[in-house]
């Protein structure tokens, strides 16, 4: 048995120290003062992760120590920023949205910009020379509305790094691109983009490098909101090293410059892989699998995909139509072609599962469906849906998300319905996107605010049992505090920080209500 070791030496003065750096758990200090004095030197050495390679997982990141929820993994700036592939018109200089029908065009390349200043800006001049070679205007967006042509801009900016920023080019060239698969698959968008730079805007780009750069962009980008409110995508040196899991343990946030911050969403054990989700965590199994194989060229075998019940949510499984006692589960070994009822053995093909889901989604998608129904009827609709699906299934989630958007009315029954829905969404989040994640933060905030609404309307309409009020308000405050903890981790200049104001204002309102309830009872005494 190990005997207690002597205290390690303080990183700053060498004296024995018992304090450990909270992030890397490696550096020791004799006092907080010495930790502070050492912080400049320690910053570059302080890491709680490392990059490792394995034959089945490829190059990826893993924890080098126990990492707690909210702990910083790293922050980094992009090496490449550009519009998303399908973008509304956007200025190539400043990335503002262009909304006027008679928009300005760059005098040289004729792409939409917001002014001459932007046409001459540093971020546009290099690409302008190349784009100007498209004399027939094949790639140039002509009208307001979404256009897939912005795909070309990010690709071009990537190709130009070779000349303008050799260091970033080297990083880009080392990234995973699956270019052989892209070439072989004959993807029409991929082929058109390559052709544009080999045949239309001929600038001597190497065809193989074009395949590589587009593949890298498709596989490694992250989308963020710019300070102009437009969606942009960016490429990062380290971010790409996160592997994928449909139940990620890392939460990524970005500020309006595109700088990203990666933090632990949940407790991560030493040596555990650090994972983000490349696809939506609230997508059903077949959609996640399709997206991951089409874009990222692999079949997901994460913990969630390997559990046919998806952690007991039955998120993708319909109820068995024969025995009604169990759910149809994917038949295992990673295949989703056959679905089987555990109880009666009924077999479904994937197409039957998809049919059932799309029937329901079509029914609830009718935009006037919700508006015409009373709250009582809507409550029944939710119950009826639970006859066909588990309460944590994807279809009821879609329906209740629509419901939250559509139901009007600030009265007790509507607040009660909303409360039930938010509680249900929290349960889903806790299973599929747990920990300190933005989605969970939003749900917690909405749940807290809704309970506040339940109490207020309940008192006004004399619907609520008054002795229940203090515990309900206490519960709402706990949800809000947890939401606050999550949003405080967002970068200072991110849009998400604004949620903190809303959280505080509901919290203050609840405390005021608690005070007035207390005064009310004191008066009664």
Options 91, 160, 353, 451; binder of Zn ion; rule CB under 5 A: 91
Q: Which CB, 171 or 247, lies closer to Zn ion?
A: 247
Give the footprint of Zn ion on residues 123-152 (CB under 5 A). 128
| 327-332: long-range pairs with CB below 8 Å, 24+ | 327/390, 328/353, 330/285, 332/308
Count, residues near Zn ion per rule CB under 5 A: 30
Options 9, 19, 24, 68; binder of Zn ion; rule CB under 5 A: 24
d(CA 278, CA 506): 34
Does 30 engage in binding with Zn ion (CB under 5 A)?
yes
Q: Which residue has the tokens 């989308």?
A: 223
Buried b (16+ CB within 10 A) or exposed e, 52-78: eeeeeeeebbbbbbebebbbebeeeeb
Nearest-approach distance from CB 21 to Zn ion, in angstroms: 3
Does 323 engage in binding with Zn ion (CB under 5 A)?
yes
Nearest-approach distance from CB 475 to Zn ion, in angstroms: 33
Q: Which stretch binds Zn ion (CB under 5 A): 138-146, 160-168, 336-344, 517-525?
A: 336-344
Does 34 engage in binding with Zn ion (CB under 5 A)?
yes
Check if the beta carbon of residue 265 is closer than 8 Å to that of residue 69. Answer: yes
Q: Where are the beta strands (DSSP E) in 227-324?
A: 231-235, 243-244, 250-254, 260-264, 275-276
Binding letters toward Zn ion, positions 231-270, x by CB under 5 A: ---------------x------------------------
Options 80, 84, 109, 451; binder of Zn ion; rule CB under 5 A: 109
Give the footprint of Zn ion on residues 290-309 (CB under 5 A). 300, 302, 305
Check if the beta carbon of residue 437 is closer than 8 Å to that of residue 496. Answer: no
Mention every residue, 6+ apart, whose C-beta is less than 8 A from residue 362: none
Give one DSSP letter per residue of 110-153, joined into a string. Answer: --B-SSHHHHTSHHHHHHHHHHTT-TT-SS---SSS-BGGGHHH
Check if the beta carbon of residue 245 is closer than 8 Å to that of residue 275. Answer: yes
DSSP-derived pairing of the beta strands 243-244 and 275-276? parallel
Nearest-approach distance from CB 95 to Zn ion, in angstroms: 7
Options 62, 73, 90, 94; binder of Zn ion; rule CB under 5 A: 94
Nearest-approach distance from CB 285 to Zn ion, in angstroms: 8
Options 206, 207, 322, 511; binder of Zn ion; rule CB under 5 A: 322
Does 417 engage in binding with Zn ion (CB under 5 A)?
no
Residues that bind Zn ion (CB under 5 A): 10, 12-13, 21, 23-24, 27, 30, 34, 46, 91, 93-94, 106, 108-109, 114, 118, 128, 246, 300, 302, 305, 320, 322-323, 341, 343-344, 346
């Amino acid at each position: 048995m190990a005997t207690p070791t002597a205290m390690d030496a303080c990183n700053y003065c060498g004296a024995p120290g018992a304090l450990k750096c909270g992030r890397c758990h490696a550096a020791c200090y004799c006092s907080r003062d010495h930790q502070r004095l050492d912080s400049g030197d320690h910053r570059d050495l302080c890491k709680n992760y490392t990059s490792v390679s394995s034959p089945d997982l490829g190059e990826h990141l893993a924890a080098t120590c126990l990492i707690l929820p909210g702990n910083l993994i790293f922050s980094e700036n992009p090496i490449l920023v550009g519009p998303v592939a399908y973008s509304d018109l956007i200025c190539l200089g400043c990335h503002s949205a262009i909304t006027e029908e008679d928009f300005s065009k760059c005098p040289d390349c004729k792409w939409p910009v917001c002014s001459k200043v932007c046409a001459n800006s540093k971020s546009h001049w290099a690409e302008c020379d190349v784009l100007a070679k498209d004399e027939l205007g094949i790639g140039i967006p002509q009208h307001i509305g979404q256009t897939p042509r912005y795909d070309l801009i990010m690709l071009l900016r990537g190709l130009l790094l070779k000349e303008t920023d050799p260091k970033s080019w080297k990083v880009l060239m080392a990234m995973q691109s699956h270019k052989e698969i892209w070439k072989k698959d004959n993807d029409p968008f991929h082929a058109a983009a390559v052709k544009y730079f080999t045949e239309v805007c001929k600038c001597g780009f190497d065809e193989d490098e074009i395949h590589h750069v587009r593949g890298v962009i498709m596989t490694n980008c992250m989308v963020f909101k710019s300070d102009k409110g437009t969606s942009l995508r960016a490429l990062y040196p380290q971010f790409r090293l996160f592997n994928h899991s449909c139940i990620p343990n890392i939460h990524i946030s970005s500020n309006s410059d595109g700088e990203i911050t990666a933090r632990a969403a949940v407790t991560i054990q030493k040596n555990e892989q650090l994972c983000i989700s490349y696809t939506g965590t609230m997508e059903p199994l077949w959609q996640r699998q399709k997206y991951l194989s089409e874009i990222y060229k692999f079949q997901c075998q994460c913990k969630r995909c390997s559990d046919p019940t998806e952690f007991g949510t039955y998120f993708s499984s319909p109820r068995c139509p024969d025995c009604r006692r169990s759910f149809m589960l994917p038949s295992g070994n990673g295949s989703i072609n056959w679905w089987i009822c555990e109880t009666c053995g009924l077999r479904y093909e994937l197409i039957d599962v998809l049919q059932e889901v799309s029937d329901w989604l079509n029914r609830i998608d009718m935009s006037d469906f919700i508006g015409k129904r009373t709250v009582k009827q809507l409550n029944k609709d939710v119950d009826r849906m639970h006859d066909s699906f588990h309460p944590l299934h994807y279809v009821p989630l879609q329906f209740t998300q629509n419901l939250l958007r559509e139901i009007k009315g600030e009265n007790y029954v509507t607040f009660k319905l909303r409360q039930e829905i938010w509680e249900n969404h929290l349960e889903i989040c806790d299973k599929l996107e747990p920990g300190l994640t933005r989605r969970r933060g939003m749900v917690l905030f909405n749940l807290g605010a809704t309970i506040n609404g339940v109490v207020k309307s309940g008192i006004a309409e004399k619907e609520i049992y008054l002795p229940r009020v203090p515990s309900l308000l206490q519960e709402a405050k706990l949800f809000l505090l947890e939401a606050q903890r999550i949003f405080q981790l967002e970068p200072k200049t991110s849009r998400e920080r604004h949620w903190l104001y809303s959280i505080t204002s509901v919290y203050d309102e609840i405390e005021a209500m608690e005070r007035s309830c207390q005064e009310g009872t004191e008066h009664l005494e």
